[in-house]
Amino acid sequence: MNESSLGLDEPPQPNKAESYRVLARKYRPQTFSELIGQDAMVTTLANAIRRDRLAHAFLLTGVRGVGKTSTARLIAKALNCIGPDGNGGPTISPCGVCEPCRAIAEGRHIDVIEMDAASHTGVDDVREIIEASRYAAVSARYKIYIIDEVHMLSKNAFNALLKTLEEPPAHVKFLFATTEVHKVPVTVLSRCQRFDLRRISAEKLATHFAWVAEQEGAQAEPEALALIARAAEGSARDGLSILDQAIAHADMEGGGVRADAVRQMLGLSDRGAMRDLFGLLLGGDAAGVITAIRRQYDLGVDPQSVMQALLETVHGITLVKVGTPDDPAQSAEARDMLGEWAGSLSNPLLHRLWQMLLKGHEEVARAAMPIEACEMALLRIVHAASLPDPGDLARRLARGDSPPVQPVGGAQPDGPPAAPAPAPDGPPVQQLPTSLDDLAALLERHNKHAMESHVRNLISPITFDPPKMEVSAARPLPSEFLRDLAADLREITGVVWKITASDAPGEPTLRERRRADQEADRASVLAEPMVAAAMDAFPGAELASWTRKQNG
């Protein structure tokens, strides 16, 4: 016997490669406990199963990737599970080991029929379902039809399904899934138990992605996972696809999943660069804005994503201004910057910026030259930043002041360039008040009597360092009070005031100080010998008022 007869001269055969499963399929939920962010639906289903009040048709709706098809398969498992011992009934916690559970999970159960309505839209496809539904299930408790993207069925197909959907055989359940529920006829909606699957929050997605990365043995920065979760827009499937790509990119680079790499992979703008760009917009620096936007464009950032990042910045400032909790995905630097802008920018200005950026975003999306459209939109905002606020302009006209006149297009008269004129945002800067009492007196001199009364009665200062001031919010303050106070002081002094509130205790208000001084003065008067003797001589007498004689 030679070596050739034994096959020893044949080259070794390579092992058969296992096909890679993408993360979105590998980590598809197999139990209701693994379903993210749909607690209300799971509770309703659990109660229905326990009380034996199962609907004959379910409609699952929601944005892409929130788990509609996965939920339909879980419901099929829950209704057909027989338990490890083969004697179980419908349960919200299917065992996953019995034959029905395993067959449904693997997509091979003969009594669980999945159909994509996008490719089976006609009435003939529905007639096949109607005919087959008459026959009992082969091996399962229920024959279940899962129809994905059901809104794509034709009108005739829907009409053909109505009678069977309203009075189906006892052994049949229908599970419909759609992303566009408004396209489903109301006659179908009224025959189904509807579940609206919620968009998954970025925080829950980031936590889930961190767990998936750990299972895959990949290192990932929390900021990178937060970026992926934000880009997923509430879709677990989209987020897992991005995470899959990010892990592959990290392996190519020889490191973990980093935030800068994810940002580059997604074509997102750098948050710090966007904050710098927003500051240039507010400062009216046209040349700086063009330089900054071109730098982002050269790095591969989409102009439309720049406009979106600026919109998110304005939205974030507005949320801080109304007092919403901080976004945990934001850095401390970002929160500080948003807080500073929230204290210095008025609500009307933020709304103007939002509208102008929103219009610019629409223009960039439609433009044949996106980067040029982006530059023109931002320059329009720069020009608007140099114009007076409509409220300030109305107050000036009411006082009889002349509005500033600027050359059209910024043209200058002949001769040397003129020095830049001060921004028309108020009167010339004057000396700032040195105490809260001076501030109240300043408001009184400028006929701001209502605001002066509020300052004396309500403000409990923590720090007073004009034009910055921090006051205590331990006692409730009127809505928009601090904003209106900052606007009045800007109008009077010509500088922007930053007035913030915190829950820390502050000093007494001016009214409380005056009362304390009066009580101390009254006590000192009552302690004088002549007054004390008079009070003893006339029991029940009260000190109604007093006047101290001035020396000299």
In this predicted model, what pLDDT tens digit does every residue of 472-530 receive, in sequence order? 877 777 777 888 888 888 888 888 888 888 878 888 888 888 888 878 877 777 777 77
Return the pLDDT at 451: 86
552 pLDDT more than 60: no
With pLDDT > 90 as the criterion, what percentage of the chain qualifies? 14
417 pLDDT more than 50: no
**Least confident range of 7-16, 176-185, 366-375:** 7-16
Return the pLDDT at 324: 82
Return the pLDDT at 427: 47
Return the pLDDT at 226: 87
- pLDDT for 105-151, tens place per residue? 888 899 999 988 888 888 888 888 888 888 888 888 999 999 999 99
Confidence category of residue 321, pLDDT binned at 50, 70, 90 = confident
Identify which of 223, 371, 248 has the alpha carbon closest to the alpha carbon of residue 301. 371
Structure tokens at 376: 């023109």
Return the pLDDT at 409: 34
**Least confident range of 93-97, 157-161, 313-317, 332-336:** 332-336
Describe the chain by its helix, strand, coil percentages, rounded to 5: 55, 10, 40
547 pLDDT more than 80: no
Mean pLDDT (the chain, rounded): 81
**485 touches 451 (CB < 8 A):** yes
- Average pLDDT of 317-336? 78
Identify which of 26, 29, 34, 63 has the alpha carbon closest to the alpha carbon of residue 247. 26
DSSP character string of 320-374: HHHTPPPPTTS-HHHHHHHHHHHHHS-HHHHHHHHHHHHHHHHHHHH-SSHHHHH
- pLDDT for 55-80, tens place per residue? 899 999 988 888 888 889 999 999 99
Domains of the chain, start order: 23-196 (3.40.50.300), 202-266 (1.10.8.60), 271-387 (1.20.272.10), 436-507 (3.30.300)
Confidence category of residue 415, pLDDT binned at 50, 70, 90 = very low
Q: How far apart are CA 105 and CA 208, in angstroms?
A: 21
357 pLDDT more than 90: yes
Q: HSE of 250 in the Cβ direction (CA atoms, 13 Å)? A: 22
Return the pLDDT at 411: 37
Burial status of residue 31 (CB atoms within 10 A of its CB: 0-12, 13-18, 19 or more): middle
With pLDDT > 70 as the criterion, what percentage of the chain qualifies? 83
Return the pLDDT at 252: 62
Q: Which residues pair with 112 in a beta bridge?
A: 144
Q: Which residues pair with 472 in a beta bridge?
A: 502
- Average pLDDT of 304-325? 88
- pLDDT for 189-226, tens place per residue? 998 989 888 888 888 898 999 999 988 888 888 888 88
6 pLDDT more than 70: no
Return the pLDDT at 407: 36
238 pLDDT more than 50: yes
- pLDDT for 81-98, tens place per residue? 998 988 888 888 898 899
Return the pLDDT at 388: 57
Would you give the distance in Å from CA 399 to the centre of its chain?
Answer: 42
Return the pLDDT at 247: 87
- pLDDT for 390-414, tens place per residue? 555 556 555 655 554 443 333 343 4
546 pLDDT more than 70: no
DSSP state of 254: T
Strand order across the 498-502 sheet: 461-465, 468-472, 498-502
Return the pLDDT at 59: 92
pTM listed for this prediction: 0.57
Does residue 420 have a cis peptide bond before it, meaning omega lies within 30 degrees of 0? no
